[in-house]
Chains A and B, each alone.
Chain A
Amino acid sequence: MTQTEPRNDWETVIGLEIHAQLATRSKIFSGASTAYGAPPNAQASLIDLGFPGVLPVLNGEAVRMAVRFGLAIGARIARHSVFARKNYFYPDLPKGYQISQYELPVVAQGTLDIVLDDGSTKRIGITRAHLEEDAGKSLHEGLGKLTGVDLNRAGTPLIEIVSEPDMRSAKEAVAYMKKVHTLVRYLEICDGNMQEGSFRCDANVSVRRRGSDKLGTRAEIKNINSFRFVEKAIQYEVARQIELIESGGKVVQETRLYDPDKGETRSMRTKEEANDYRYFPDPDLLPLALDEAFIEGVRKSLPELPDEKAARFSSQYGLSPYDAGVLTASRELADYYEEVVRAVPREPKLAANWVMGELAAVLNKDNLEIGSGKMPAARLAGLLTRIADQTISGKIAKEVFEGMWAGGESADAIIESKGLKQITDTGAIERAIEEVMAKNPGQLADYRAGKDKLFGFFVGQVMKATQGKANPAQLNELLKKKLPG
């Protein structure tokens, strides 16, 4: 089976359910800590353990975060929403039910715009976003035939973000997921850590003949925790469904799991085996009532959102939409860029090139985040200042940058100690040109005979003689004057 985009006579329809763990300090219905990595069950209170007699109390911070998200996607914030119980038995679900929102979610009907490969934007509908508690984890390793249960994660607040089936390719699905990922981190409601499971998704995938307005039967791929896996899982699933239908088969409604090692999805349970969750309003929790003052207070606290910031970067700094998009992909990156620009206000484009180019490359190589502190914005700005005031050329700057990254020194210190300051003294450049002309009489003769290409040869030789420090513009001008004789 091939795993490329489907052939043109098939259309893919994708909807995503994204689970984002809210960055509250305590759990959604108990006071236990949500910190990651504690020994098993060290952060499970009696409430998380579902002990007899205990009751849930809603964490107001989780509500505030959900409302932040709702306002950021232009959604309707429910003045009245209801917590419901989703009933099923599983060892990592201590109460035998998950507290979630069912008929009346706190957030409904929002949208997010994604940028497609051709540069156009597409609007993705978000049906709803609701609050719920996470389950614990079953542990199978090191316990022989037994299964262990770790309830540290049980009761961690989640927001489940359900999209409309608006995406038409795996790429669009990834773009949407990345957009949500960016947004929740901007809003500081989720740390976005996919390895720790803070941000994961279920993908509903179906295919239909192009032109058909009827949705095909969908399969739900559960619990995918990386952008790459989302893309691969969807591609695999689409190919599987098309092949199945084309060979006379039928897609069945089922839940599937993506196996990243084998690169395939496989059936977990069919619709017939699906649980009847017997949702009903949780009688232990009152309906969640939000008033205008609360919602307006949250609205006022919203930061500048990614799309707004990108638009501002374009207009304020003259950046292309692409560059503005890259630089606003995270709040940390955008803040870093703006700090650099504040130090070299006349060079926003130069700053963008360096942040997206050299800096991004070394960060990527050393697997570091922008916030790692290894290259403070002020230090990078120090380098750009020297490019801007022509103390060094762009080429020398790369050498200086390498030194800064390796040794943590300032640009000025490296320029000084290595003597990299650009030569802008016309007399000195002229002397170097004359020496080069004297050493290369043959090439000079050829040039004068009309071999213009040799101009570059002389630039190179002078640069070599000056260890690259000659000011390139001056050098060009002087060569043009001197070479013709």
Chain B
Amino acid sequence: MSHRNSLTELAIGLRAKKFSSVELVRAYLQRIETSQPALNAFISVTGTQALEAAAAADRDLAAGRGGALAGVPIAHKDLFCTAGVRTTCGSRMLDNFVSPYDATVVAKLKAAGAVTLGKLNMDEFAMGSSNETSYFGPVRNPWNPDFVPGGSSGGSAAAVAARLVPGATATDTGGSIRQPAALCGITGIKPTYGRVSRYGMIAFASSLDQGGVLTTSAADAALMLREMAGFDPNDSTSVDTPVPDYVAALDAPLAGVKIGLIKEFVDEGLDRENERRIREALAVLERMGATLREVSLPNLPLSVPAYYVVAPAECSSNLARYDGVRFGHRCKEPRDLLDLYRRSRGEGFGSEVKRRIMTGTYVLSAGYYDAYYLKAQRVRQLIAADFKRAFGEVDVLVGPTSPTAAFRIGAKTADPITMYLNDIYTIGANLAGLPALSVPCGFVDGLPVGLQIVGPHFAEARILNVAHRYQLETDWHRKTPERFA
């Protein structure tokens, strides 16, 4: 037993009683403690509760009970509400917030037997692409601590990449699972919008947010996602269709699978070395019998501007509840109501969150709504239509996950537009509500890059299958940063 085992191997080993959950959890807690100063991946570590849960899982396993993840350690992005545990969303606003309830995702993973080790660092309210907007400080990339891990699920990605947990939950509003997966050299899947419950997942942009997982391999992602997906009556936007066994579908051969390379993604913004890694990956898929063609989605380049209207609009409304009245940060000695609002929010939110609240307030304002919000929604429909047309021709679409490998901490913080362009290849899937994942496909200057695979609605099994077959042929996903090997 070691951190070098995959999540699937650990689940099997636990069931075979080769080792106990308590032993496993102790070992991981040790790794978390050691790495925390270097990576800052965690906001809260819940060691005591974890060891209790591990002991309970061991009892279940001993009695032949327990779910598919019985005793397996995981950690949650700190925007999933966890009962009795601080849930900060990476913000000073919720620094003191202890959730009174479990998010549906948290409850489902608990029911499957998973043991939570703690809460993972993230960009404040999931707004960011580098994990530099966190009130709890930036997370560092395990491949090189001077570089960002990507964001907003930077803590989740760094923790999995450094083998501090075998799997972590994350969320993706415009690329927040896939981009950090690419930049940290791991596997991350954002399911179809509505596949995973959003109940208890603190909202950034409700029509785009979707929970998913970060793991080292597609097989592990399939297992973990299977346990957390499904209809939830508490989430009106969750979809009531059965969850297929993603694990069982992993091995299907790729012969005859039609793959489309998104033409618009091979643009001037794409790093040439990165492009080479993508083309090499596609060659691997072709060797396995997949057919490759180029597909054009002409409206896709509009996704960044459309996204930066829709997402801030929703966020400006979603974040109105943080007013210092019922929970969260409250300023000291408010003079009156307006002062309470102004200072509580002024002190509680960081600058990127404020920027988006202001942008969102502006685009929804009387006289601007039609020109911005409504137009962005129309663009969104055009992009969705482009994808639909493309999926009439191919089974899955592929392209790079991000234009470049990880960048240096501080390199892009001065210019929000440069930062936003990091998500240029990932946002489309959110706008169209499609499942998409990123798998590691090599390195550029010693830093990992990712191949993105997008499928039609509810085709998680298909994109996981393509990713898994790719990982059977390659070992990029087995590469581990040296100091965490």
Residues of A at the B interface (CB closer than 8 Å) are: 46, 49-58, 85, 87, 89, 91, 94-97, 147, 149, 276, 278-280, 283-286
Least CB distance from A381 to B in Å reads 51
Distance to closest chain B CB from A378 (angstroms)? 48
Quick check: B321 and A50 within 8 Å, CB to CB?
yes
Give which listed residue, B89, B317, B326, contacts A97 with CB less than 8 A: B317
Q: How far is the CA of A96 from the CA of B321 in the complex (A)?
A: 5
Checking A53, A55, A58, A87 against B364 with a beta-carbon cut-off of 8 angstroms, the contacting residue is: A87
A57 touches B320 (CB 8 A): no
Q: How far is the CA of A455 from the CA of B180 in the complex (A)?
A: 110
Residues of chain A contacted by B316 (CB below 8 angstroms):
87, 278
Q: Whole-angstrom distance from the CB of B423 to the nearest CB of chain A? A: 19
- CB-based contact A89/B202 at 8 Å: no
Question: B103 within 8 Å of A by Cβ?
Answer: yes
Identify A53's interface contact among B99, B236, B313, B361, CB under 8 A: B99
Closest chain A residue, CB of each to CB of B374: A280
With contact pairs A54-B200, A280-B364, A280-B373 given, residues A97 and B235 touching in the complex (Cβ less than 8 Å): no
- Chain B residues in 8 Å Cβ range of A89: 320, 323, 341
Q: How far is the CA of A85 from the CA of B316 in the complex (A)?
A: 11
Residue-wise interface mask of B (316-342) relative to A, using a CB-CB cutoff of 8 A (1 in contact, 0 not)? 110111010111100000000100010
Minimum Cβ distance to chain A for residue B36 (Å): 25
Task: Report the separation of the CA atoms of residues A279 and B368 in the bound assembly, to the nearest whole angstrom.
Answer: 12
The B contact surface, by secondary structure, is: loop
Q: Bound state CA distance, A297 and B305, in angstroms?
A: 46
Residues of A contacting B319 in the complex (Cβ-Cβ under 8 angstroms): 96
Q: Is B407 an interface residue (CB 8 A)?
A: no
Given known pairs A52-B327, A53-B81, A283-B207, the reply for A276 and B235 (CB within 8 Å) is no
Q: Which residues of B contact A55 (CB under 8 A)?
A: 198-199, 234-237
Q: Can you give 28 A-B contacts (C-beta < 8 A)?
A: A50-B321, A51-B99, A52-B81, A52-B202, A52-B328, A53-B80, A53-B103, A55-B236, A57-B234, A58-B236, A85-B317, A87-B320, A89-B323, A91-B323, A94-B321, A95-B320, A96-B321, A97-B320, A278-B316, A278-B317, A280-B369, A283-B205, A283-B207, A283-B237, A283-B314, A284-B203, A284-B206, A284-B236
Q: B326–A50 contact, CB under 8 A?
A: yes
Contact A87 B317 (CB under 8 A): yes
Task: Report which B residues bind A (CB closer than 8 A).
Answer: 79-81, 87, 89, 94, 97, 99-101, 103, 198-203, 205-207, 233-237, 313-314, 316-317, 319-321, 323, 325-328, 337, 341, 361, 364-366, 369, 373
Residues of chain B contacted by A286 (CB below 8 angstroms): 236-237
Residue pair B236, A46 in contact (C-beta under 8 Å): no
Report A283 CB to chain B, min CB distance, Å: 4
Chain A residues with CB under 8 Å of B233's CB are 57
Neighbouring B residues of A278 by C-beta, 8 Å: 316-317, 361, 364-366, 369
Which of chain B's residues have a CB closer than 8 A to the CB of A95?
A: 320-321
- Identify the closest chain A residue to B320 (Cβ): A96
CA distance A95 to B205 in the complex (A): 15
* Bound form: Cα–Cα A278–B365 in Å: 5
Q: Give chain A nearest CB distance to B83 CB in angstroms.
A: 11
Residues of B within 8 A of A91 (CB): 323, 325, 337
CA gap between A149 and B325 in the complex, in Å: 9
Q: Are A57 and B236 in contact (CB under 8 A)?
A: yes
Given contacts A284-B206, A284-B237, contact A52 B97 (CB under 8 A): yes
In angstroms, Cα B174 to Cα A385, docked, is: 80
Instruction: Count CB-based A-B contacts (< 8 Å).
Output: 100
Residue of B nearest to A87 (CB): B317
A168 to B369, CA, bound (A): 36
Q: How far is the CA of A276 from the CA of B97 in the complex (A)?
A: 30
Contact residues in A for B99 (Cβ distance below 8 Å): 51-53
Check B100–A51 contact: CB distance below 8 A. Answer: yes
- A85 to B206, alpha carbons, bound, how many Å? 13
Interface pair A280/B103, CB less than 8 Å apart = no
- Chain A neighbourhood of B80, CB < 8 A: 53
The docked-state distance in angstroms from the alpha carbon of A95 to that of B99 is 17
CB distance from A144 to the nearest CB of B (A): 15
| Chain B residues, Cβ within 8 Å of A56 | 236
Query: Nearest Cβ in chain A — how far from B199, in angstroms?
Result: 5
Give the Cβ gap from A238 to chain B, nearest Cβ, in Å.
30
Shortest C-beta distance, B128 to chain A (Å), equals 18
Q: A152 to chain B: closest CB distance in Å?
A: 14
Tell me the complex Cα distance, A284–B238, Å: 10
Q: Cβ of A283: which chain B residues have Cβ within 8 Å of it?
A: 205-207, 237, 314
Query: From residue A301, how far is it (CB to closest CB) to chain B in Å?
Result: 25
Alpha-carbon gap, A451 to B341, bound state (A)? 91
Residues of B within 8 A of A85 (CB): 317
Q: How far is the CA of A85 from the CA of B236 in the complex (A)?
A: 16
Residue among B80, B103, B201, B234 with max Cβ neighbours from chain A (10 Å): B234
- Enumerate chain A residues within 8 angstroms of B200, measured Cβ to Cβ: 53-54
Q: Of all chain B residues, which has the CB nearest A276?
A: B366
Nearest-CB distance from B201 to chain A (Å)?
6
- How far is it, in angstroms, between the C-alpha of A239 and the C-alpha of B203 when the chains are bound? 50
Is B317 a contact partner of A52 (Cβ separation < 8 A)? no
Which B residues lie within 8 Å of A50 (CB)? Answer: 321, 326
Q: Which 3 A-B pairs have the closest CB atoms?
A: A96-B320, A283-B207, A278-B364
Closest to B337 in A: A91
Give Cα A51–Cα B202 distance, bound, in whole angstroms: 9
From A93, which residue of chain B is reached at the shortest CB distance?
B320
Question: Do A52 and B320 have beta carbons less than 8 Å apart?
Answer: no
Which residue of chain B has the shortest Cβ distance to A47 in the bound complex?
B234
**Minimal beta-carbon separation of B208 from chain A (angstroms):** 8
Chain B hits for A284, CB < 8 A: 203, 206, 236-237
CA A56 – CA B365 in complex, angstroms? 24
Please name all residues of chain A whose beta carbon is closer than 8 Å to the beta carbon of B235 when the two chains form the complex.
55, 57
A-chain residues with CB within 8 Å of residue B327 when the two chains form the complex = 51-52
Q: How far is A89 from B206 in the complex, measured between Cα atoms in Å?
A: 20
B317 touches A280 (CB 8 A): yes
B236 touches A285 (CB 8 A): yes
Query: Which of chain A's residues have a CB closer than 8 A to the CB of B364?
Result: 87, 278-280
- Chain B residue contacts of A285, Cβ below 8 A: 236-237
> Given A57-B236, A280-B373, are A52 and B89 also a contact pair (CB < 8 Å)?
yes
Closest A residue by C-beta to B232: A55
Most buried by B among A85, A276, A283, A285: A283
Asked if A53 and B365 sit within 8 Å, CB to CB, the answer is: no
* A39 vs chain B, min Cβ distance (A): 17
In the complex the two chains form, what is the Cα distance from A284 to B316 in whole Å? 14
Other A-B pairs, 17, CB within 8 Å; known A96-B323, A286-B236: A51-B99, A51-B100, A51-B326, A52-B89, A53-B87, A53-B202, A56-B236, A87-B317, A89-B323, A89-B341, A94-B325, A96-B321, A147-B337, A276-B366, A280-B369, A280-B373, A284-B237
Nearest-CB distance from B432 to chain A (Å)? Answer: 15
**Hey, which chain B residues are within 8 Å of A58, CB to CB?**
236
Q: Which residues from chain B contact A276 at a C-beta distance below 8 Å?
A: 365-366
Q: Which residue of A lies closest to B345 (CB)?
A: A89
CB distance from B53 to the nearest CB of A (A): 21
What A residues does B201 contact at CB under 8 A?
53
Instruction: Evaluate contact between A52 and B323: CB separation under 8 angstroms.
Output: no
A49 and B233 alpha carbons, distance in the complex (Å): 19
| Interchain nearest-CB distance for B379 vs A (Å) | 16
Tell me the smallest distance from the CB of A153 to a CB of chain B, in Å: 16
- Inter-chain contacts of B79 with A (CB < 8 A): 53
Q: How far is the CA of A278 from the CA of B359 in the complex (A)?
A: 13
Inter-chain contacts of A57 with B (CB < 8 A) = 233-236
* B341 CB contacts on chain A under 8 angstroms: 89
Residues on A with beta carbons closer than 8 Å to the beta carbon of B94: 52
Q: How far is the CA of A81 from the CA of B115 in the complex (A)?
A: 43
Q: Bound state CA distance, A276 and B201, in angstroms? A: 29
Contacts A94-B321, A285-B236; A53 near B203 (Cβ below 8 A): yes
Instruction: Collect the chain A residues with CB atoms within 8 Å of residue B207's CB.
Output: 283
Closest Cβ of chain A to B166, distance in Å, is 25
Cβ distance B230 to chain A, nearest Cβ, rounded Å? 15
Q: What is the CA–CA distance of A89 and B373 in the complex, to the nearest angstrom? A: 21
Closest to A280 in B: B364
